[in-house]
Amino acid sequence: MALMRTISGPSDLKRLSPAQVDQLSDEIRDYLIHSVSRTGGHLGPNLGVVELTIALHRVFDSPRDTILFDTGHIGYVHKLLTGRHDLSSLRKQGGLSGYPSRAESDHDVIENSHASTSLSWAIGIASGRKLRGETDRHTVAVIGDGALTGGMVWEALNNIAEHRDLPLIIVINDNERSYAATRGGMADYLASLRAKPQYENVLMWGKRQLNRTPVVGRQVYETLHGMKKGLKDIVSPQGMFEDLGLKYLGPVDGHDVEAMETALRRAHDFGGVVLVHAITEKGHGYDPATADEADRFHAVGKINPETGLPLELSGRSWTDEFSDELVRLGKERDDVVALTAAMLIPVGLQPFAERFPDRVFDVGIAEQHAVTMAAGLSYAGLHPVVCVYATFLNRAFDQLLMDCALHRQGVTFVLDRAGVTGTDGASHNGMWDLRLLGLVPGVRVAAPRDGHQVALALREAVDVADAPTVVRFPKGTVAEPLEAVRTAGQVDVLRDVDPAGDDADQGVDLLVVGVGAMAATALEVADKLAAQGRSVMVVDPRWVLPVSADLVDLARAARAVAVIEDGLVGGVGDRVAQALADAGVDVPVHAYGLPHAFLDHGSRDQVLDRVGLTADPVATSLVSRLA
């Protein structure tokens, strides 16, 4: 790490010789492997952009020139080059974010992890600076080929094509993958460009000959340089980007710093919008991350850096429970199909895809399209299951509302990583879904409390043909089964009052509603209140929206109701209060959930503790409210 320690900012990179740049690349790659193996994080994507990021910072003057990363999980090398040399606190509470963070550095701009936004940011920044007379400042958007499958990119490109005089550079980080292999027409188009060496590559070949055989090489290089326009017409026919009026350079070897610098300097000096197409390899330089199972190195836990094997064996996950049940349903019902937005593996669809390849649609990073396509599949007589992270449903709210709910289409949404996800930070937390879903007429939302309930909820959801249904569950190891002591209609009673107790005829002091994974917390709260002499009943509604008549009936016998949920405070709680008011049940409802704030990264338990959504603070609050 000797050379990297001398780099306190991008200006230090500009003094390095070519040999030192190669040394720095090796140091950074070695450091990433050994550091991320201890903390977990996005290893493969960052190994693929080492040289590309170095070249960016050698050519442009950050932060005066703005470099945007889409998505920000490729920002680790950028962090190292901008003075953040210690990644040991990566994604830990109080440590470095796994994404760019404005609180950490003036070099960071886009903090969120939602892909396909960088070009809209870029034209906004570049246009704003032009209006302010700051035309000598460049804006650079680094966008992965997978993000080009998102519709916002093409909305932005359409706009950018009208403003071609802006000092705006688009760098396509083309590694043929988003999480897994990039699919679709754009992936095929980029593949066709990779198959056609462009004139810039021919020029770079001539330049390398110059270095190896100065006399002959210079003649070759100068000849080729003089006829480059003709070469372009021969080996680089007009492509889609150039048809839009955008200057196109490439493909360029993204692991050749010299080649990248040459292309980027040409883009820098062009005086308008330029698209630089860089070819990279995800996981480059680390054999385990480029082998057959490369996709599991997109994001890793703690691993052995020598073998790439995990050091911690995780238990069965919530996603595993869903995945297995979907395969069983697929065998039973040939109308069940699945859709996802470039997240086939992390949302658990890989086994279903292997068993039923013709019944899975990976549409790329295009959640809006996925949801409306699902409405069409439903209209055609199928039952689509749309599988996304809960945070990414935010992007398709209008389609859920207007295409699925308004048209009463039977579409099931499976929201993985619901509630607090933790280490990936504010934009990954799936904390908005319950509040948003409460606005949708006719939607039915299930929040399973354990793995067995995941399977039951999924089966019930796909039986609904006249409305959208949602099954949501958190990230991580699945909770231990919580058996109901009895059922009250569709509501599971997890803790009941003692029918032989002194207070049996006097009703219940408190009815605690545990939403999904918070059922275990609800039981802990009940134990603490019962120890103080309170009579407490704990229930799991299973289907939390709309609020069932069975839950309303149980509330009639209680003096107060508490709702504990891992979404924004009041998501389900407000709906319960409204349902009771509509039914004429005059019982106070106390809602406990996540605050209206963007929550910094940390483990799930740390975040829940930080915001007071654990048993002790909730019980203490209820004691004061029930007094």
Assess whether the previous peptide bond of 351 is cis (omega < 30° from 0).
no
CA 20 to chain centre: 35
Length of the chain: 627
Is 138 annotated to bind ligand?
no
Give the angle 479-112-183 at the CA atoms, nearest 5°: 80
Task: Considering the candidates 247, 282, 449, 575, report the single residue annotated as catalytic.
Answer: 282
**Token pair for residue 207?**
């330049």
Handedness of CA 196, 200, 203, 207 (dihedral sign): negative
User: Greatest CA separation found in the chain?
Assistant: 103
CB 359 within 8 A of CB 381: no
Is 155 annotated to bind ligand?
no
**Token pair for residue 108?**
């960071």
Provide DSSP, 269-304: HHSS-EEEEEE--TTTT-HHHHSTTGGGGSSB-SB-
Q: Is 102 a catalytic residue?
A: no
Distance CA 203, CA 222 (A): 9
Q: Which residues pair with 412 in a beta bridge?
A: 385, 469
Distance CA 547, CA 351 (A): 34
Is 367 annotated to bind ligand?
yes
Is 78 annotated to bind ligand?
no
Q: Is 196 a catalytic residue?
A: no
Is 145 annotated to bind ligand?
yes
End-to-end CA distance of the chain: 61
CB 41 within 8 A of CB 299: yes
Q: Is 495 a catalytic residue?
A: no
Helix (H) or strand (E) holding 69: strand 66-70
CB 418 within 8 A of CB 473: yes
Is 514 annotated to bind ligand?
no
Q: Residues near 197 by Cβ (< 8 Å), separated by ≥ 6?
A: 235, 251
Residue with tokens 């799936």: 430
Comparing CA positions, the residue from 328, 382, 330, 377 lying closest to residue 356 is 330
Task: Considering the candidates 79, 367, 472, 542, report the single residue annotated as catalytic.
Answer: 367
Q: State the pairing for strand pair 491-495/486-488.
A: antiparallel
Task: Considering the candidates 129, 177, 183, 395, report the single residue annotated as catalytic.
Answer: 395
Is 147 annotated to bind ligand?
yes
Distance CA 173, CA 166 (A): 21
Amino acid at 493: V
Amino acid at 357: P
Distance CA 108, CA 85 (A): 15
Is 114 annotated to bind ligand?
yes
Helix (H) or strand (E) holding 374: helix 367-379
Tell me the three state secondary structure of residue 466.
coil
Residue with tokens 């004691």: 623
- CA distances 310 to 294, 304, 575, 583, Å, are 14, 6, 43, 53
Q: Residues near 313 by Cβ (< 8 Å), separated by ≥ 6?
A: none
Q: Residues near 58 by Cβ (< 8 Å), separated by ≥ 6?
A: 10, 13, 14, 16, 21, 257, 261
Read off the DSSP letter of residue 93.
Answer: T
Ramachandran region, residue 417 (left: φ > 0; alpha: ψ -120 to 50; beta: rest): left
Q: Residues near 607 by Cβ (< 8 Å), separated by ≥ 6?
A: 93, 420, 422, 429, 599, 600
Q: Residues near 27 by Cβ (< 8 Å), separated by ≥ 6?
A: 1, 2, 3, 4
Is 73 annotated to bind ligand?
yes
Detail the residues annotated as belonging to a binding site for Mg(2+).
145, 175
Detail the residues annotated as belonging to a binding site for thiamine diphosphate.
73, 113-115, 146-147, 175, 286, 367
Q: Catalytic residue positions?
A: 282, 367, 395
Detail the residues annotated as belonging to a binding site.
73, 113-115, 145-147, 175, 286, 367
